[in-house]
Chain A
């Protein structure tokens, strides 16, 4: 008797068919993995299973309560842990909230599932791993028969992932039906009993986990072979670094770096590995010139004044690929051509006196479209209508145009499909080959391993270790990412 049975599920968003006929069953005590690349429909399917979305066709039968731990936490940051865990089901004493009972309940849950959190802590003060615990406790409080976990390990260090799955396995042993939605094949192989592969809105393959391999899953996910990356030319020998950072201290919100030093030479890709929230955003913002910092940044023999903003840095040959293309890189309602010149609109090439040179902008956009295979290849279309992968190609193409001296790439392939990922990564390698120095900040260790010549591990705002390409040690790096020395 399945705990959850979805049959014939179809879901459309306007013209887009997000789910095109899916059957899926979850049984008590069984951990099922749902894999697929970005845009395949995994999150939509989980939301339908949870009940947040209603399917346009098909049925969902649930034998018990469904809990969903979201990829992006749904917590009220300014409220306390107990207020979040018990939101909507708060204990009462007459007309008042029974705070003592609430606290006790949170502690009791913590005991039962081994997820201890201080009930009175305000959520926004907690580190990301703890926030995830709160999210999980909130779902467990309702005693679900079915638990859906959407990309649960995105914010965990490799060693934390193990203890997380220990908890998950224990929950399964209590009889909860569990589905883990992820794109991390190693975890699926290690922890699930069954795997379903989604592609373009349907389930294209189902396996018993012990009868398949990561390679077979990868091919099923992509529907073919993953295109190889461009070749790397040998690293040139150089004396002077193009970028030298010393004693850098900066803070963006709760993300901070606390005195780091590194050097980067032309034609090198330096990877910054680490779990999200250990200073990457502060580092990126300091280099981009959007946040104040202490310490020195030397670029091409010049010590940059810390008041130098993004424009000055761009004029000196620095380009940034921001983390969030929707809010930090693109103006969604503008055309591709107008977006292409964002940052260059005042330059001599793009203007004629006071006016924007529209032809030059379109020509420039056209070269990006061609080099990065942007589809549809029409520079007058609004960028909002492009897929995530194509939007990201515009952002990356714009940054790499003209072979800049330095590029900061912050999560350059976040949330885009495998094909676009391969293309972007190849272009980054080609830029490296042509002499661009690249600082790659990524939360995906695989990406760093594919691209970087050297890796620095960032933990709690400091550099915890450095590795050369010929000495990449996944286990060691993973340990450093979690703070083990």
Chain B
């Protein structure tokens, strides 16, 4: 039982990071479909920089920075250029996944997977699991107990009202999305460097999208989203536990996605997104 719990935590950690990133973005009013790409870029950059420097921690920081960069790009697109955010997020995913695949050849000289690198090791794995849960609490405190968090929430609900009150919704959204990208990339760092020690093509495997479902299921609330992420992660952990039964592996692999679908169907009608989620803000001047 205890080992299952630990397995669940490990499988959920990337989802928790990505879901927290999603919550922060959406609370400020930016729909982030690009979480998948941010996970991938965090994983790839972390591994590549660790390979280049020989230092796993520097690699991890690099991974986070790459996620922040991608988040900043989305933030810019959403605020300055007021694009259709769902489409932009899809573009970000392709950029990251294609870029990482291309990067594998450039950095490691081989397609498909990187070489093994210095990773965070078992101690790092435990630390990152704890960090994920701690961040859920911290984000909750930030959003609901601090001034800046209140401003973020205001921008997500009614950016015009925030503007009138002297808050700059475009700036808030930009920084929230950048930070969200960094958080999601942490999930990728965990995936590639805490659980394993390499990057392989497609290793993000749809986690960024499950994280989106976790955001909705968790009602755009950090603690709720983290709990939802743990719930979906449990399904992935279940795959390993049920491996030796006769259940076909494909069924198990589909489980987290089906669970997300069912959760979405059962829950979506009642959940209310931040009112301005996905709607670009124009300052009438």
Q: Which residues of A are interface residues toward B (Cβ below 8 A)?
A: 47, 52-54, 68, 70, 74-79, 83-84, 87-90, 92, 95-97, 138
A87 touches B146 (CB 8 A): no
In the complex, which residues of chain B have a beta carbon less than 8 angstroms from the beta carbon of A53? 284-285
A87 to B149, alpha carbons, bound, how many Å? 11
Main secondary structure of the interface of A (DSSP, over half): loop
Please name all residues of chain B whose beta carbon is closer than 8 Å to the beta carbon of A79 when the two chains form the complex.
Answer: 150, 153-154, 157
Given A76-B154, A88-B165, 10 extra CB contacts under 8 A: A52-B164, A52-B284, A74-B158, A76-B157, A77-B158, A78-B275, A79-B154, A83-B150, A95-B146, A138-B165
Q: Could you give 25 example pairs across A and B, Cβ below 8 Å?
A: A52-B164, A70-B164, A74-B160, A74-B164, A76-B153, A76-B157, A76-B158, A77-B158, A77-B275, A78-B157, A78-B275, A79-B150, A79-B153, A79-B157, A83-B150, A83-B154, A87-B154, A87-B165, A87-B167, A88-B166, A88-B167, A90-B150, A96-B145, A97-B145, A97-B146
Task: Report the Cα distance A52→B166, complex, angstroms.
Answer: 10
Q: Check B147 for interface membership: any CB of A closer than 8 A.
A: yes
Q: Which residues in B have their C-beta under 8 angstroms from that of A96?
A: 145-146
Minimum distance in angstroms from B172 CB to a CB of chain A: 11
Enumerate the 10 nearest inter-chain pairs by beta-carbon distance, A residue then B residue, closest first. Answer: A88-B165, A87-B165, A74-B161, A88-B166, A76-B158, A76-B157, A74-B164, A76-B161, A76-B154, A90-B147
Q: Cα distance A87–B166 when bound, in Å?
A: 8
Interface centre among A74, A89, A92 (most CB of B within 10 A): A74
B284:A87 contact, CB within 8 angstroms: no
When C-beta atoms are compared, the residue in chain A nearest to B283 turns out to be A52
- Tell me whether B207 is interfacial, beta carbon within 8 Å: no
A148 to chain B, nearest CB (A): 12
Specify the chain B residue showing the minimal Cβ separation from A50: B164
Interface residues of B in 233-285 (CB under 8 A from A): 275, 284-285
From residue A333, how far is it (CB to closest CB) to chain B in Å?
A: 15
Provide the residues of chain A in CB contact with B165, threshold 8 Å. Answer: 87-89, 138
Structural contact, B150 and A97, CB atoms closer than 8 A: yes
Interface size class of B (residues with CB under 8 A): 10 to 19
Smallest CB gap from A70: residue in B? B164
Query: What residues of chain B lie closer than 8 Å to A89, measured between beta carbons?
Result: 165-166
Q: Verify if B151 is at the interface (C-beta below 8 Å from A).
A: yes
Q: Is A75 a contact partner of B147 (Cβ separation < 8 A)?
A: no
Contact with A along B127-156 (1 / 0, CB 8 A): 000000000000000000111001101100
Check A87–B157 contact: CB distance below 8 A. Answer: no
Q: Which B residues form the contact surface with A (CB < 8 A)?
A: 145-147, 150-151, 153-154, 157-158, 160-162, 164-167, 275, 284-285
Chain A residue numbers with a CB within 8 Å of B151 are 87-88
Q: How far is the CB of B23 from chain A (nearest CB, A)?
A: 15
**Docked complex Cα distance between A87 and B150 (Å):** 8
Give the chain B neighbours of A68 by CB distance below 8 A: 164
Find chain A residues with CB under 8 A from B166 CB: 88-89
* B150 adjacent to A84 (CB under 8 Å): no
What separation, in Å, do the CA atoms of A158 and B257 have in the docked complex? 57
A47 to B284, CA, bound (A): 10
State how many angstroms separate the Cβ of A65 from the closest Cβ of chain B.
11
Contact, CB under 8 Å: B161 / A75: yes
When chains A and B are docked, how far (Å) is the Cα of A135 from the Cα of B70? 38
A74–chain B nearest beta-carbon distance, Å: 4
In the complex, which residue of chain B has the Cβ closest to the Cβ of A98?
Answer: B147
Q: What residues of chain A lie closer than 8 Å to B167, measured between beta carbons? A: 87-88
- In the assembled complex, which residues on chain A have CB atoms less than 8 Å from the CB atom of B146? 95-97
**B166 to A: closest C-beta gap in Å:** 4
- Cβ B275 vs Cβ A97 within 8 A: no
Contacts of B161 in A (CB 8 A): 74-76, 84, 87
Closest to A139 in B: B164
B196 vs chain A, min Cβ distance (A): 37
- Nearest chain B CB to A240's CB is how many angstroms away? 42
Q: Which residues of B contact A90 (CB under 8 A)?
A: 147, 150
CA of A121 to CA of B275 in the docked complex: distance in angstroms? 19
CA distance A95 to B158 in the complex (A): 24
CB-CB under 8 A from B285, the residues of chain A are 53-54
**Interfacial chain A residues near B147, Cβ < 8 Å:** 90, 92, 97
Q: Are A77 and B157 CB-contacts (below 8 A) given A52-B284, A54-B285, A96-B145?
A: yes
Residue on A with the closest CB to B145? A96
Q: How many angstroms between the C-alpha atoms of A76 and B162 in the bound complex? A: 8
- In whole Å, how far is B139's beta carbon from the nearest beta carbon of chain A? 15
A290 to chain B, nearest CB (A): 18
Q: Measured between alpha carbons, how far is A77 from B150 in the docked complex, in Å?
A: 13
**Which B residues touch A52, using CB under 8 A?**
164, 284
- Least distance between A84 CB and chain B CB atoms (Å): 7
User: Looking at B145, B165, B285, which has the most chain A CB atoms within 10 Å of its CB?
Assistant: B165
Q: Are A75 and B158 in contact (CB under 8 A)?
A: yes
Task: Tell me the nearest residue of chain A to B148, going by C-beta.
Answer: A95
User: CB-nearest residue of chain B relative to A44?
Assistant: B284
A84 to B145, CA, bound (A): 15
Q: How far is the CA of A92 from the CA of B147 in the complex (A)?
A: 8
Contacts of B164 in A (CB 8 A): 52, 68, 70, 74
Contact B153 A87, beta carbon cutoff 8 Å: no
Q: Which of B146, B150, B162, B284 has the most CB of A within 10 A?
A: B150
